[in-house]
Amino acid sequence: MRRRFALLITALSALALSGCIGETSSSMPAPATRAPDWDRELAMMALPDADPAPDVVDVTLDARVSQVEVAGRMVEAWSYAGVVPGPVLRAKVGDLVRVHFENRLPEPTTIHWHGVEVPADQDGAGEEGGTIAPGASFDYAFRVPHAGTFWYHPHVNSAAQVWRGLYGALIVEDPAEPALGEALTLVLHDTELDESGALVPPAAQGDLGRYFGHEGSLLLVNGRLNPTLQLSSGSTLRLRLINASLSRYYRFGVDGHELVRIGSDVGLVPESESVSDLLLAPGDRAEAVLVVRGAVGAKVAARALSYDRFDCAGCTKPVELMQLALIAGQATPVTVPSTLTTIEPLDLSAATRRTVTLDEVDRDGQTYLGLNGHVHGQDPLVFMAKVGDTEVWEIENATEYDHPFHLHGFRFQVLDLNGEAPAQRTWEDTISVRRGETARIALTLDDRPGMWMFHCHILDHADLGMMGMLHVMP
Ligand code: C2O
Ligand code: CU
């Protein structure tokens, strides 16, 4: 009831401010009421589609060493197609996506399509799925079965390669979903430059850095430091947020504004809900509609609000991420429906139950991070399963700090977090399990046999051994 009331108020205030009733949809051209360069500072490169068929996206992409601008300086980074973030890939649900990829880096790499249910041999899972040598090419081809906000990144030496700049957005639209207006993708990533202006090398903070997970002091949105977005007061904007940081959690909020949460990792949530902020652990995505309010000429900050991923007595301070500059112009706000989709519960009557414990593992005087006492790279944890199985995993965090648990290949539903069911059913591929807490997730293994990774998405932690494999047999 309170949520509905809040939504109504947001919608009404937007109408009052704009003095008009209107609707936009992603299938319509951008409303003329926006300044033509409203998102100039946040624009991302797109790739030309070489296949004229309406249900095929065919692009060519490389990974290379290149000079990119970071916080006003030219920096040597690793990039997809010369830009950081990499080009944004766009498809419609059900499309066939082909990516002709060339590795022009000095070391092996892959592309992992984070959150997309691809066949196992297209998952780019590095050591388990084969790597692409320097100078070699690989043609990825897969269908995109679900709409949502996804991303791509390497899965070889992942912490270092993502740190150097290899990450990009993959957006899958569904023409049949409710009209939610114009969308803007925000890819969040943090980095660090040294005094000479060079990118700090990936492992600069040594073992302790890997243990805590590397963070940088420069918080970038679509590769920019504190960019400005021009928006007219009363307008609405659908935000597609992606946390592409190695280790940093973002609690995303906009000063003086509520956000209408509409999407999780994979697609829309059943009921829109008004929230003050959105928590994104590394690997996570979220979607929300922002109803822009304020006087023309005002500047409103969007921030990473404080969130401590270990007990450090409020050591994290809010950081400005970007600015909204409120400009004159007629707004055409979208009214967000309260019901967006339906998600059926899985039938758990015959489910296989498993427990995964995230913990520290001491070996030969060294501390590793592991799962169920196994350290990946030494004695990997392997679960055996069969196509068609339904599984319930209890994921228990026995450490003193939070870990985002990510499963490749299969989206899941969260049954409960510390014994409490979430307010609504959603589809996720990454879930943060807080220190000392337990989450239960459920999933069904559809007909895509193979070896699938699961790991902590603090990529340093995955490198330290917090990873396992799900072997799905035909
Ligand atoms: Cu973003 Cu193993 O994944
Ligand atoms: Cu972790």
Residue 458 DSSP SS3: coil
Does the beta carbon of 453 lie inside 6 Å of ligand 1?
yes
- CA–centroid distance, 457 to ligand 1, in Å, is 6
Does the beta carbon of 461 lie inside 6 Å of ligand 1?
no
**pTM score above 0.95:** no
Q: Let me know: does 99 contact 63? Beta carbons within 8 Å.
A: no
Q: How far is CA 401 from CA 97, 178, 219, 386, 404, in A?
A: 38, 39, 21, 33, 10
- CA–centroid distance, 410 to ligand 2, in Å, is 20
- Of the listed ligands, the closest to the CA of 129 is 1
Percent of the chain with pLDDT over 70: 92
Please say if the pLDDT value at position 25 is more than 80. no
Query: What is the per-residue pLDDT for 127?
Result: 65
84-112 mean pLDDT: 98
Closest ligand 1 atom, residue 151 Cα = 1
Tell how strand 96-103 and strand 56-70 pair up. Answer: parallel
Does the beta carbon of 455 lie inside 6 Å of ligand 1?
yes
**pLDDT per position as a tens digit, 199-234:** 999 888 888 888 999 999 999 999 999 999 999 999
Q: Record the tokens describing residue 135, joined without a space.
A: 């100078």
d(CA 125, CA 139): 15
Q: If DSSP states are collapsed to H, E and C, what string results for 228-252?
A: EEEEECCCEEEEEEEECCCCCCEEE
Query: What is the per-residue pLDDT for 32?
Result: 44
Closest by CA position to 40, among listed 224, 237, 203: 224
Q: Let me know: does 223 contact 70? Beta carbons within 8 Å.
A: yes
Does the beta carbon of 408 lie inside 6 Å of ligand 1?
yes
- CA–centroid distance, 336 to ligand 2, in Å, is 35
Does the beta carbon of 406 lie inside 6 Å of ligand 1?
yes
- Of the listed ligands, the closest to the CA of 452 is 1
Residue with the nearest Cα to atom 3 of ligand 1? 114
14-19 mean pLDDT: 30
Cβ burial of 1 (10 Å; 0-12, 13-18, 19+) is exposed
**pLDDT per position as a tens digit, 124-152:** 998 666 899 999 999 999 999 999 999 99
Q: Record the tokens describing residue 455, joined without a space.
A: 């790991």
Closest ligand 1 atom, residue 462 Cα = 2
- CA–centroid distance, 122 to ligand 1, in Å, is 13
The answer for residues whose C-beta is within 8 angstroms of residue 96's C-beta and 6 or more apart is 55, 56, 57, 141, 142, 143
Q: Let me know: does 455 contact 127? Beta carbons within 8 Å.
A: no
Give me the phi and psi of 56, to 5 degrees please: -130, 130
Q: Residue 66: CA atoms inside 13 Å, Cβ hemisphere, count? A: 17
Give me the phi and psi of 128, to 5 degrees please: -85, -25
Between 19-28, 127-136, 157-166, 421-430, the lowest mean confidence (pLDDT) is in 19-28
Q: Let me know: does 18 contact 331? Beta carbons within 8 Å.
A: yes
- Of the listed ligands, the closest to the CA of 114 is 1
Better-scored residue on pLDDT, 37 or 360: 360
**pLDDT per position as a tens digit, 229-277:** 999 999 999 999 999 999 999 999 999 999 999 999 999 999 999 999 9
DSSP 280: E
Is-cis flag, bond preceding 87, omega within 30? no
Between 60-64, 164-168, 209-213, 461-465, the lowest mean confidence (pLDDT) is in 209-213
**pLDDT per position as a tens digit, 282-297:** 999 999 999 999 999 9
Residue 286 DSSP SS3: strand
Give me the phi and psi of 396, to 5 degrees please: -115, 130
- Of the listed ligands, the closest to the CA of 156 is 1
**Residue keyed to tokens 């979430």:** 422
Query: What is the per-residue pLDDT for 33?
Result: 52
Q: Record the tokens describing residue 115, joined without a space.
A: 């959150």
d(CA 253, CA 324): 12
Query: What is the per-residue pLDDT for 27?
Result: 39
Closest ligand 1 atom, residue 115 Cα = 1
